[in-house]
Structure formats: structure tokens, C-alpha cells
């Protein structure tokens, strides 16, 4: 059974988490929020960014990264600008976890150093003023690469016009 898991480690900006929540709700991905969070989960900005999809979300909360790892088995893929391999070069197995760090600092370097084969990056320009993609964009890029490889299981892949017909 396919199950995509999106993990946010210490997210700081409620709007990013709200956007990622919406992506999870519409793709069937599970959202894992690892604390401490930089906001309350009843934050109006979080709810607004997630719009009316919050009830479709499968979300789990953890006190810390240690708590998360104690309750979940991988495989884990760590998204980081510091990684040496490209996210689309990996073959993602069923029930994988895409792990993203907080907006201001990313994932702990100790975690990355201990798991070099599982660290991936999304290609970007090499420019001193360009640090990284927005967290919600990165999570969407990662999620849709995995779903593309899995041939979009259970997702509607053909749309319909509202007033006209194809």
C-alpha cells in the first residue's frame, strides 16, 4: 500500500505549514509535525492557508525529533540544500517519509552527516543571495516527485470543464 509521509521538523511559519497541510490533504499524504512548533495549531494563519481542507488532513504531532523516530520506521529522506544528490535521482519506496527542516536553519547537520545516502536536494541556482526554496514549495516538489514515480495512486488525473465538455 502506498503511503506518503511529509515530516516538518520545528516549522516556524504557520502559513507554510498551512500550505503543506493543504498539499497533504489533496494528495492523501500524512503530515507529521515535530515540535517545538513556532506557532499554535489553532493559529488563524495556519487555518487560513489550509483553508477548508483541515478536516481532510491526517496529522500526527511529536514533542521532538527523538519522539518522532521512536514512533516511526523509515525509510526517511532528508531534504536539504546541503545534500549531494538530487531528489529526482532517488527511487522512493512505499511508505516513505520526506523530512524537511525549519525555515531558518533546515535540518540538524548531525542528522544529515549520519545519513548521507538519504539526503537529497532540489536543484537551485548557485547565488549568494538565494538560500533556498520556500518550505511549502519544497514539500510540494518532493511530494509530487514521489507521487509521479508511484504513478499518482488514487489521485484523480483527469479534470473536467465546468460549463463545457471535452
Helix, coil or strand: residue 30: strand
Give the span between the Cα atoms of 142 and 146, in whole angstroms. 6
Q: Which helix (H) or strand (E) holds 111?
A: helix 109-114
The answer to whether 101 is a known ligand-binding residue is: yes
Cβ contacts of 93 within 8 Å, gap of 6 or more: 75
The answer to whether 142 is a known ligand-binding residue is: no
With contact defined as beta carbons under 8 Å apart, do 85 and 121 qualify? yes
Tell me the binding residues. Answer: 101, 122, 132
Per the annotation, where are the binding residues for S-adenosyl-L-methionine? 101, 122, 132
Amino acid at each position: 500500500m502506498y503511503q506518503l509521509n511529509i515530516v516538518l521538523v520545528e516549522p516556524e511559519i504557520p502559513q507554510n505549514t498551512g500550505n503543506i497541510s493543504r498539499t497533504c490533504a489533496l494528495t492523501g499524504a500524512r503530515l507529521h509535525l515535530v515540535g517545538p512548533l513556532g506557532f499554535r495549531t489553532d493559529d488563524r494563519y495556519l487555518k487560513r492557508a489550509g483553508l477548508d481542507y483541515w478536516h481532510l488532513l491526517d496529522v500526527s504531532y511529536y514533542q521532538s525529533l527523538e519522539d518522532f523516530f521512536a514512533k516511526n520506521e523509515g525509510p526517511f529522506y532528508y531534504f536539504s540544500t546541503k545534500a549531494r544528490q538530487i531528489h529526482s535521482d532517488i527511487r522512493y519506496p512505499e511508505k516513505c517519509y520526506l523530512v524537511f527542516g525549519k525555515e531558518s536553519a533546515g535540518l540538524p547537520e548531525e542528522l544529515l552527516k549520519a545519513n548521507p545516502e538519504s539526503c537529497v536536494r532540489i536543484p537551485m541556482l548557485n547565488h549568494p543571495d538565494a538560500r533556498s526554496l520556500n518550505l511549502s514549495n519544497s514539500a510540494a516538489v518532493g511530494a509530487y516527485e514521489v507521487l509521479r514515480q508511484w504513478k499518482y495512486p488514487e489521485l484523480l488525473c483527469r479534470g473536467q470543464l465546468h460549463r463545457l465538455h471535452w
